[in-house]
Chains A and B, each alone.
Chain A
Amino acid sequence: MGRYILRRILISIPVMIGITIVTYLIVNLAPGDPVSAMLNPEAIASQGPDWVAQQKANLGLNKPLPVRYVLWLGQVAHGNLGFSYNDRLPVTSKLKERFWPTAKLMLTVEFIALLVAIPVGVISAVKQYSLIDYVATIFGFTAVSIPSFFLALAAIYIFSVKIGWLPAAGMSTIGQPPTFFDSLKHLVLPAVVLGLSQAAPLIRYTRSSMLETIRQDYMRTARAKGLAELFVLYRHGLRNAMIPLITVVALDLPKLLGGTVIIEAVFAWPGMGTLAIESVRNRDYPVIMAINLLAAVLILMSNLLADVLYALVDPRIKYS
């Protein structure tokens, strides 16, 4: 197993380099450049060709593309992700600042999603075509069909404006010393809104995977052995049904990194999604590349994680 993981990590190095070449090329081919993004129509009287040339020189944009790529790769190899073109801050510190808020929100979201999806999915599979099953199905389709920003705004309107239980935005109450309870209160709305819309497809996956498993012969054998029904369902049923679910969740993890731009914007949550959009708008190449790099690492890692988890869940799967 250890050797297998090591080999996978080594293979991912050339894959990573390939990814950076392609993304670097695409990012640079996007029309417009960082300096044209800086041009401000209201200040343009002062941003003549000299200013543009000076900015390009300051940012090192006057070098040819391949040279810039190699320089960038060299930097990255030394652990330096460069400086943002936009505000000249080190990219590492920009990422660090936003990673924790995103991770905090996303892990909570994933936790809520699984907490809802697995029991509901199992129950609606076991009690197929029952009332619970129909309710879960209707909930699932509704949550998938309603855009999350609408859910978010509706939740703010109800819980924050009308009832006034929860704060509408931010990570903590501004102008007060931070407390655990306060930050928990701020986490509830975004986490529940996102968690429920994450849960909806997971319920469907759990249900169909579970439906397939409970019809297997080994389930009947287990019951014939006289095992308790719950034990049969969870030990023999769910464990086998988990394999497709692991794949889905593992693929969800990297998506959570940047896939919540809208929720972040609505709830004024200072995370990675906002940074990603901002940097694309500004053609902030170093930040875009850093986020891409991070996303690539996460995808490779979560794929690896999924493979390892398969082996843990299903002893028949062995890697050598």
Chain B
Amino acid sequence: MTMRDATEDGRSRVWHLSHYAMSRRGFVWLVSAGAGSTAMAALLAACGGGSDKTPTTAGSSSTSTSSSSGAATTTSAATAATTGSAGTPMAQGSAAATTGTSGSGGATTAKKGGQVHVLWTAPPVTLMPIFSTSGSEQQVERLMFGALVKMTDKLEPVPDMASKIDVSPDAKSYTFTLHDNVKFSDGTPLTTDDVRFTLESAIDSRSGSYWNGRLKGIDGAADFSTQKADSVSGIVTPDEKTVTINLTTGDAAFLVNLCNFSGLGIMPKHILKDVAPDQLQKHSFALAPTVTAGPFKFVKYATDQYVELARNDTYWGDPPPLDSIFMQILTPDVALAQLEKGQIDVMTVSVQDLDHVKNLPNAELKTVPSPSMDFLAPNLTKDYLKDKRIRQAMMYAIDREGILKQIYAGQGEITNSPIFGPDWMGVPEGLNEYKFDPDKAKQLLKDANWDSSRTLDMVYVPATKERTTAMQIIQNQWSDVGLKVNIDQVDTAEGNRRTIQNMDFDIRPVGGGVFRADPGVSGTYMVTSTWTPKGGNYGHYSNPDIDKLYPEAQAAGKPEDRKVLYTQIAKILNDELPWIFLYSPNSSYGVAKRLQGYMPPSYSDNKLWNAETWSVTE
């Protein structure tokens, strides 16, 4: 898949593959790194009849053939992988050597130098990886700091500064081996001490990092978080290049979690070690991270205008072709004008501007499916919303296909459960599709004795124009079947107070999440232990079967086994409707034609995931 996109881009440099697949010995990412070269090939250790996928490989190795015949290289590399990893992860050396040697040189026509301007949505609140809660900041941090794992355009976690990642068969233990020569921009080597420092700062409750919750599955995290222990016992660093993370219970989605949206940047211990945890967020480093180990380094933040990044000369991998990247803060209208003038190279495009961008001579429109979903969360603590027939009526009463077609220009797909990806999972079969049927909705409401004089209270935080219009259509369509709803527009702070903290609402429209990345993601919204404010279970849905099935599916190692369990989950949720599932709108990007190597990510705040390989033609 990665291969195909790469050829479409006209580039012969495909540089990795990632894959969920499981062997009896556990799944392994093999990444080869030739001496000083970054021709990475993440190969699949396929044992048994695990996978139906063709492993592709990367590497400028494909330059030995022409760009169109990458498949040949793929085959040979795959063979190498199979032989190399048939046994233990140790055997990877051979595979590494094979691709590594042919990989150096990278004889692509990429021109050295140049600037790229990327539209950024809002000024950064912080640029310290453990404190950023928005993907738009995290993508820049991953590029500056470098991470253990990063997320690809297809939402798969792949190694970044780690040369390989070994996962135990029970998914309880993850071992990362760092690349040679990983150095901070001040020349200090980056060691597993820095990894421990980053993770522990995030876990320490005094720092106030929200990663505290994300990493609570690590052994000993709870004790360290509350200062009962001096270090996290589940983080083991036998030497400077190896770090093992042990979890209390198996979690096959741990890597997805660890590269939340983009990847958790590794912070320099030697700069920050003397800062008290509760002072970290206030430290001047937060908006001027001058010592980092990623492919690009921080140059300057011009308040409310842009962040400037420049190539990091101490980067361990191939030096990035670009001289600098500017993350610019502009309104979408002005950004569109700048794209037309060639002053913006990459931007997210909203539905209303799709046609305009399509017709620009100097830019291309790229559209891909997104991992997020729009849905309505009914408050299930209200007696009148407890009958599932009411919720089913709500589903039948909405013409989701029509909304998608009219409002979203057909860019998106209808969802009937929170499980619709990634590729190994797909959309579960046998779900009720809830095709638009107002009569059926009326009948269901009648059966459930719906009191048609009741007006529901929808607490809506206006987001995109499209979503606002969609909510008005839903309001109309519901009223057609006798469901009255009042849309109460509030801002984020008030919306969160009423919904997350006080349960003072009937319906809350939500859009977002990374559901497509892993079916386990929806667990944090569906199980009883994640009722707000502890998690994302907005409506306080509770079903003992669901509570049991999610952990089971998460601990099950093999994708086939997980798929069976998640299909079961999807069927229950599709019938009981803890949420009114709507659709997953696509992500669209306007990309300047001069920019080479850009691969549109499905998660729009992950645009920079491969920026280290971008180049420009002029």
| Known contacts A87-B126, A174-B326: A48-B337 contact under CB 8 Å | no
In the complex, chain B residues 101-142 whose Cβ is within 8 Å of any chain A Cβ: 115, 117, 123-126, 133-135
Contact, CB under 8 Å: B492 / A37: yes
Q: How many residues of A contact B (CB 8 A)?
A: 55
A157 to chain B, nearest CB (A): 7
- Determine the interface band of chain B, counting residues with CB < 8 A from chain A: 35 or more
Contact, CB under 8 Å: A45 / B331: no
Chain B residues near A278: list those with CB within 8 A: 123
Contact, CB under 8 Å: A45 / B524: yes
In the complex, chain A residues 231-251 whose Cβ is within 8 Å of any chain B Cβ: none
CA distance A282 to B496 in the complex (A): 12
A49: contacting residue among B214, B326, B331, B533, CB under 8 A: B533
Contact, CB under 8 Å: A39 / B286: no
B341: contacting residue among A34, A58, A168, A267, CB under 8 A: A168
A316 to chain B, nearest CB (A): 47
CA distance A250 to B341 in the complex (A): 40
A85 to chain B, nearest CB (A): 10
| Complex: chain A residue closest to B115, CB-CB | A175
In the complex, chain A residues 12-44 whose Cβ is within 8 Å of any chain B Cβ: 31-34, 36-44
Mask of B251-262 contacts with A, CB within 8 angstroms, 1/0: 000000000100
B208 within 8 A of A: yes
CA distance A189 to B145 in the complex (A): 38
Chain A residues near B326: list those with CB within 8 A: 174-175
CA distance A153 to B211 in the complex (A): 41
| Known contacts A41-B512, A88-B282, A98-B304: A268-B493 contact under CB 8 Å | no
Contact, CB under 8 Å: B117 / A89: no
Chain A residues near B500: list those with CB within 8 A: 36, 39, 41, 44
Chain B interface main SS type: mixed
| Complex: chain A residue closest to B521, CB-CB | A45
Contact, CB under 8 Å: A47 / B213: yes
| Known contacts A36-B501, A45-B214, A88-B286: A160-B337 contact under CB 8 Å | yes
| Complex: chain B residue closest to A53, CB-CB | B205
Chain A residues near B330: list those with CB within 8 A: 169, 268
B608 to chain A, nearest CB (A): 17
In the complex, chain B residues 198-224 whose Cβ is within 8 Å of any chain A Cβ: 205-206, 208, 210-214
| Complex: chain B residue closest to A32, CB-CB | B493
B535 within 8 A of A: yes
A170: contacting residue among B123, B305, B530, CB under 8 A: B305
**Taking each of B304, B306, B330, B490, which has the highest tally of chain A beta carbons within 10 Å of its own beta carbon?**
B304
A166 to chain B, nearest CB (A): 11
CA distance A272 to B473 in the complex (A): 37
Contact, CB under 8 Å: B341 / A43: no
| Known contacts A31-B494, A33-B497, A87-B286: A48-B208 contact under CB 8 Å | no
CA distance A161 to B326 in the complex (A): 21
Contact, CB under 8 Å: B334 / A37: no
In the complex, chain B residues 493-537 whose Cβ is within 8 Å of any chain A Cβ: 493-497, 500-501, 510, 512-514, 524-525, 530, 532-536
Chain A residues near B210: list those with CB within 8 A: 40, 43, 46-47, 51
CA distance A262 to B234 in the complex (A): 51
In the complex, chain A residues 45-99 whose Cβ is within 8 Å of any chain B Cβ: 45-52, 54-55, 58, 83, 86-89, 97-98
B353 to chain A, nearest CB (A): 13
A164: contacting residue among B126, B305, B308, B341, CB under 8 A: B341
Chain A residues near B329: list those with CB within 8 A: 268
CA distance A98 to B303 in the complex (A): 8
CA distance A31 to B510 in the complex (A): 20
Contact, CB under 8 Å: A268 / B530: no
Chain A residues near B115: list those with CB within 8 A: 175
Contact, CB under 8 Å: A153 / B333: yes
Contact, CB under 8 Å: A51 / B305: no
A203 within 8 A of B: no
Contact, CB under 8 Å: A46 / B496: no
Contact, CB under 8 Å: B533 / A52: yes
In the complex, chain A residues 267-316 whose Cβ is within 8 Å of any chain B Cβ: 267-268, 270-271, 274-275, 278, 281-283
Contact, CB under 8 Å: B513 / A42: yes
| Known contacts A40-B134, A87-B126, A281-B491: A270-B303 contact under CB 8 Å | yes
Contact, CB under 8 Å: A168 / B338: yes
A151 within 8 A of B: no
Chain A residues near B534: list those with CB within 8 A: 48-49
A171 within 8 A of B: yes
The total of Cβ contacts below 8 Å across the A-B interface reads: 158
Contact, CB under 8 Å: A266 / B493: no
A265 within 8 A of B: yes
CA distance A54 to B205 in the complex (A): 8
A253 within 8 A of B: no
CA distance A52 to B501 in the complex (A): 10
| Complex: chain A residue closest to B214, CB-CB | A46
| Complex: chain A residue closest to B338, CB-CB | A168
Contact, CB under 8 Å: A48 / B535: yes
B288 to chain A, nearest CB (A): 11
CA distance A274 to B341 in the complex (A): 25
B53 to chain A, nearest CB (A): 29
A210 within 8 A of B: no
B407 within 8 A of A: no
Chain A residues near B340: list those with CB within 8 A: 161
B490 to chain A, nearest CB (A): 8
| Known contacts A32-B494, A36-B493, A268-B331: A168-B512 contact under CB 8 Å | no
**Taking each of A46, A54, A169, A281, which has the highest tally of chain B beta carbons within 10 Å of its own beta carbon?**
A46
A122 within 8 A of B: no
A210 to chain B, nearest CB (A): 39
Contact, CB under 8 Å: B337 / A156: yes
B374 to chain A, nearest CB (A): 12
Chain A residues near B337: list those with CB within 8 A: 156-157, 160-161, 168
A17 to chain B, nearest CB (A): 27
B9 within 8 A of A: no
Chain B residues near A283: list those with CB within 8 A: 493
B272 to chain A, nearest CB (A): 15
B533: contacting residue among A48, A86, A268, CB under 8 A: A48
Contact, CB under 8 Å: A44 / B536: yes
B328 within 8 A of A: yes
CA distance A160 to B333 in the complex (A): 13
In the complex, chain B residues 276-335 whose Cβ is within 8 Å of any chain A Cβ: 278, 281-282, 286-287, 302-306, 308, 324, 326, 328-331, 333-334
Chain B residues near A153: list those with CB within 8 A: 333
| Complex: chain B residue closest to A283, CB-CB | B493
| Known contacts A44-B533, A49-B533, A98-B304: A36-B497 contact under CB 8 Å | yes
Contact, CB under 8 Å: B328 / A274: no
| Complex: chain A residue closest to B225, CB-CB | A50
A–B Cβ pairs within 8 angstroms, 23 of them: A40-B133, A41-B500, A41-B512, A42-B512, A42-B513, A44-B532, A44-B533, A46-B210, A46-B211, A48-B534, A49-B534, A51-B213, A55-B208, A88-B282, A156-B337, A160-B337, A168-B334, A170-B305, A174-B117, A268-B305, A268-B334, A270-B304, A281-B492
Per CB-CB distance, the 9 closest pairs between chain A and chain B, nearest first, are: A46-B213, A32-B493, A270-B304, A37-B493, A45-B524, A32-B494, A88-B282, A36-B496, A31-B494
Could you list 17 further interchain pairs (A-B, Cβ under 8 angstroms) beyond the known A41-B513, A51-B208, A88-B126? A31-B497, A34-B493, A36-B500, A41-B536, A46-B211, A46-B213, A47-B213, A48-B213, A52-B533, A58-B208, A88-B281, A98-B304, A170-B328, A267-B334, A268-B328, A268-B331, A278-B123
Residues of A within 8 A of B (CB): 31-34, 36-52, 54-55, 58, 83, 86-89, 97-98, 153, 156-157, 160-161, 164, 168-171, 174-175, 265-268, 270-271, 274-275, 278, 281-283
